[in-house]
Amino acid sequence: MTFLTRSTLFLFITLCIISGLASSDSELTWDEAYDKAFSLVNQMSLEQKVGLTTGVGWEKTLCVGNTYASENPDFPSLCLQDSPMGIRFGNNVTAGVSGITAAASFDKTAIRQRGEYMGKEFRAKGVHYQLGPSIDIMRSPQSGRAWEGFGEDPWLSGVAGRETILGIQSQGVAATAKHYIGNNQETNRTTSSSNIDKRTLHELYLWPYARAVEADLAAVMCGYNLADGEYACENSYILNTVLKGELGFRGVIMSDWGATHSTAKAANAGLDMTMPGDILMGDGLTFFGSNLTKAVNDGEVSEDRVTDMALRIAASYYKMKQDEDFPKTTINTFTRSAAPEILVQENHSELVREMGAAAVVLLRNEDEILPLSTHTPKKISLIGSNAGPIPQGLNGCPDQSCGKGHLAVGWGSGTADFPYLVTPFDGITARAGENIEIVHNFNDYDLEEVQSLAYEADVAIVFVMADAGEEYIIVEGNNDRKNLSLWNNGDNLIEAVAEVSENVIVVINSVGPVLMPWIDNENIKAIVWPGLAGQESGNSLADVLFGDVNPSGRLPYTIAKKQDDYPAHISSEAQIEYTEKLLLGYKYFDAKGISPLFEFGFGLSYTQFKYDRLKTVVNGKKDNTRVTTSISITNVGEIDGAEIPQAYLSFPQYTNEPPKLLRGFEKVYLQAGEKKTVDFVFTKNDLSFWDEESEEWKLAKGEFTVYIGASSRDIRGSSSFTI
C-alpha cells in the first residue's frame, strides 16, 4: 500500500518539504491545519470518518455536493459547488469572464482579482469548496470544455491556475483544481483511456497541478476518463505516486460527479471523497458509506487509510479557517426559489468589465480603422445575431446551452446564471452617444437585407461566434466541436458584408480557434477577438473599439490556417494515444515549420513598442541556479498602453525538448514615450526536464537560448547562456 500509517503519517506531516510553506493571512499552514484535524478525527468512530468521505447524494442537498455532518465530535456538512467562473445555480451572483478569456489577458494581477471576487461570493453563500479552477490543457482546439481552462500551454496554465487558487483561497474558500488528469475531450469521456507517456504527463499535463500544489491547493478533482487503462479516480500511480507522493499534495482528492467506480480499489488508490455520493447519480447507492465501512471490517481497506482520508478533508477545512464564523449555506441548488436573497456581487461587475477589456485580442487593424474614436464614423451598422440578445431569454436554456444570440460563455456545469447581459449592441449603442447613428440587423441568413444595411454605413461590424460545452448537453450536434467553423452562417455573413462595404470589422466570440476562409479579403480591415467575456461583454468590447482601453490581450492558443495543421484531434477510439507527446500547440507548429494564421501569444495594440538592451546573467549552481534576463521596452507610439513581453527558452539539444518553451510573461504599462526594464528570472523548475530513464526532474546542462518577444513568433531579441 502507498498510503501512510498513523505514525508515519504524523512524521510525514512534520517533515514534509512543503509543510513549512507560508500561507496567506486567511489560511493556516498545513501543519497547523493537520494539528487541528488530528484533534477532531482521533475522536471519531469509523462510521463518522467514513461520513466525511461520502457525499449525501444527488438532488438531496443544498449544494451540488454535500458530505455527511458529524455530531460528538461536531463537524459540519461541507458544501461543494460549481463552477470555475462563478456560482452555478446561484441567485444574485456574478457571471464573469471564462477561464480561457482570463488567460487571454496575460495579466497576473487581474487573474488574482478574479479569483478573489469569486472566492468572496462563494464564501458569502456558505460554499466550502469552489469546484474550480479547471487547469486541463487544450490538447485539441475542438475540445468542448477547453474554454473553462487556460489554453494550450502548461506554463501559462500553471500561472493562471496558481493566481486563481491564491485568489479563491485568500477568501477562506477551498479551490478545487480539475479534472485530473488527461480529461481533454468530451467524446466518450467516461469510457476512453488517455494514454500518456510519463515525460509528456509530467512536462505538459501535470505541470499546472504542480504549480497549484505549490500554491497550497486544498482539493483536486479526478476526472471521468481512464488514464493508461485505469479509471483516473482509482489509478494509484497518478493519485498516490505522483500527486500525493512526488508533488507532496496534502489536500483532498475528490471524484468528479459519478466518477467513482469501486470501493476498495478507489480508496486504496488515493481517492479521499466520492461525489455526489451515488454510484449512479440519484440511485441512492454508494461505493463509500456503509460499503467503505464493510471494506475496512473485511480487511480490504485499512482503517489507517480511512483516517488519512478524513484527516485530509478536515485539514482542508481548518486550513481555510472555515471553523471561524463561516457563513451558513444559503444556496439551494435544486429548489432555487427557496433560497434566501443574499446579495454578494458588490462592485464585481467593474472587475469583470475591466478584465473583459484587458482580454480582448486585436488580430488585425488595417488603415488604423480602430479605435473608432479617432475618426468618429457617422453611421455604424451592427450585423449578426451575436450582437444581440439571446432569443430564448436571459438564462433561457439549461446551463447556457442556447447557441443563439450573443455568446458570453460556453455551456455545461462550468457556467453561472447571468444577472444581466450587456450585449455588443447595448454596449456600443451606449458608448456611441448621440453623434453616431447605430443601425442593426440580427438576422444571420437574410444576406440581401444585411448587405443593404452595411452598404449605407461608414463602418460595418459583423458579429459571429462558435460555441461548445460539456458532454451531457448536445447543441446542433456539438459538445466537443464537430469542426472549427463559425456557427449560424458566420462565414457567409462576413463574406456578404465584405462584398458591399470597404470598412468591415469582424468580431468573433468563440470558445477556441476558428477557421477564417475570408481572411484575405482586403475589405476586412479589423478582426477583434473578445473571447467569452461574461455579463459585461458588450461594455468591455465597446471600451476597446472606441479606444477607452488600449487592447493588450494575447492568444492563449494557436489559430491555424486549416484544421489538419493541429497535432491532436478529438478521437472516438477507446484508447487515445497521445502520440504528439511534447509537441502540442505552438511547439508543434515550430517543430514542423508550419505557419499559423495567428500564433500563440499574438495580439496587437493601438501603439507600438520597441525592445532593446537584452542582457542575461547566470547566478548560483545546481538546485540554486538562477538565470535573469533583462530587456528594456519603450512605448514609441503616441498612446498609453500595455505590452506583454514573453520569454521562451530553447533547451540544450540532448534534452529533446521542443524548439522553445514559454517560461515567462509580464504585463507592462507604459505611457507614450516611457521606457521600463523587465526582468525574467528562471529557476530550476524552468530549466529542468523530465528524465525518462531515472524518472525524475533533472536540471539541463549545456547551452540555452532565451528569446524575448511580443508573441511566440514575433521575437524581438535573444541571447545564449550555459549551465
Residues belonging to the active site: 256
CA distance 676 to 436: 38
CA distance 721 to 723: 7
Q: Of 396, 409, 401, which Cα lies nearest the Cα of 537?
A: 409
Inter-residue contact 216 to 161 (CB < 8 Å): no
Using CA atoms in the order 240, 246, 247, 249, what is the torsion angle rounded to 10 degrees? 30
Q: Of 289, 185, 291, 181, which Cα lies nearest the Cα of 230?
A: 181
Give the number of other Cβ atoms within 10 Å of residue 663's Cβ. Answer: 22
Give the number of other Cβ atoms within 10 Å of residue 391's Cβ. Answer: 12
What letter represents residue 231's amino acid?
Answer: Y
Sequence-ordered list of residues with C-beta below 8 angstroms from that of 634, at least 6 positions apart, any chain:
609, 610, 612, 670, 673, 674, 675
CA distance 242 to 363: 40
Inter-residue contact 582 to 588 (CB < 8 Å): no
CA distance 286 to 56: 9
Where b means 16+ CB within 10 Å and e means fewer, 606-645 reads: bbebebeebebeeeeeeeebebebebebbbebeeebbbbb
Inter-residue contact 218 to 129 (CB < 8 Å): yes
Inter-residue contact 300 to 286 (CB < 8 Å): no
CA distance 294 to 50: 11
